[in-house]
Amino acid sequence: MNLTADSTLSDHPIRPPVPSGVASIRSYLRSVLFGKEDQIDLVIACLLSRGHLLLDDLPGTGKTTLAKAIAEAIHGRLARVQCTPDLMPADITGFSMFNQKTREFEFHPGPMFADVLLADELNRTTPRTQSALLEGMAERQVTIDGTPQPLSPTFFVIATQNPIDSHGAYPLPEAQLDRFSIKLRLGYPDRDAQRRLLQREVHDSANGQGSNAPPTASPLSLDDLHGLQRQTQAVRVHHRVAEYIIDLAEASRDDDAVELGVSPRGMMHWQAICQAWALLKGRDFVTPTDVADVAHSVLSVRLLTRGESVDAVIDRIMKTVPAPEYK
């Protein structure tokens, strides 16, 4: 299956520049988290696609720092929930309380009404509380006492979990995993990044700023982010690229090593991430390369295998399904 210049993925011979807002977010996050350029771009793609992010990584690798930096970069409100077994759904969504003066129930919003919600160690809390996130992640609203309560238009969930300490943990159900757009591992920084990190710590301490001192303020606002999200949705997807995503999703369902493949919702997340990835590359159209570039991050959160490594299965699927040629 070939894509020629006549059936093109783009009609523009000159690549448009990366939007200034995207460059601002990228620059700000890179000034906070050293040596993680590729992961930062995937995080930005997740944010622009109006998705949600699962960070599956070791303690101390910058997960909380990243969440704070994202909220600061968009001038949004950050809410952090430390997930524990005794955490209740109302602790996240909010609750109604009777006001004796007005003789009416008043709603008190919970952390979910922030612009960025950091659910730290989400697998430490019970399935009942985990499920409280489902409606908000999918529909950007929560229903409390039968009344729908709208969330922020830019509502963004960053959930973390520790992959090595499973004692007392509640594995996230597949229904919730499928609501995350991507799963990332930041990993340890390289030697140069570690050196810069130590030097910044000494500099900030010497200037009385402390290790949590923010870098230069980001010029981006929540309205700017909303505009970038609309621009991302307008990125074009050629019908053959869409067919390629469908072929890959069907291959994941038919693979003997896969117990649970990519759902239709997962395909929509994949396409949205591809649109954002194309925008990050300065294009207004998606190419098959974009699909492959984000495949591991998108599929690793939603493929359930029968013992074989998820990465190995993804590699096999990507090699088995032929990509449309882009000329």
pLDDT digits (tens, 9 = 90+) for 60-113: 888 888 989 999 999 999 999 999 999 999 999 998 888 888 888 888 899 999
**Domains, the chain:** 2-326 (3.40.50.300)
Are 228 and 234 in contact by the 8 Å Cβ rule? The answer is no
Regions of the chain where pLDDT drops below 70: 1-17, 165-168, 205-218, 326-327
Q: What confidence score (pLDDT) does residue 15 get?
A: 54
Q: What confidence score (pLDDT) does residue 219 get?
A: 72
Q: What confidence score (pLDDT) does residue 8 get?
A: 46
| Type of residue at 299 | L
Torsion of CA 118, 120, 121, 126, to 10 degrees: -70
Distance (Å, whole) CA 80 – CA 13: 45
pLDDT digits (tens, 9 = 90+) for 148-175: 899 999 999 999 988 776 666 888 888 8
The pTM score is 0.88
What values do phi and psi take at 93, rounded to 5? -85, -30
Q: What confidence score (pLDDT) does residue 228 get?
A: 94
Sign (positive or negative) of CA dihedral 261, 325, 296, 69:
negative
Per this entry, what is the length of the chain? 327
Concatenated DSSP letters of 260-302: E---HHHHHHHHHHHHHHHHHTT-SB--HHHHHHTHHHHHTTT
Q: What confidence score (pLDDT) does residue 325 get?
A: 80
Q: What confidence score (pLDDT) does residue 7 get?
A: 40
Q: Burial level of 146, CB count in 10 A (0-12/13-18/19+)?
A: exposed
Looking only at the bridges linking them, the beta strands covering 182-184 and 258-260 are: unpaired
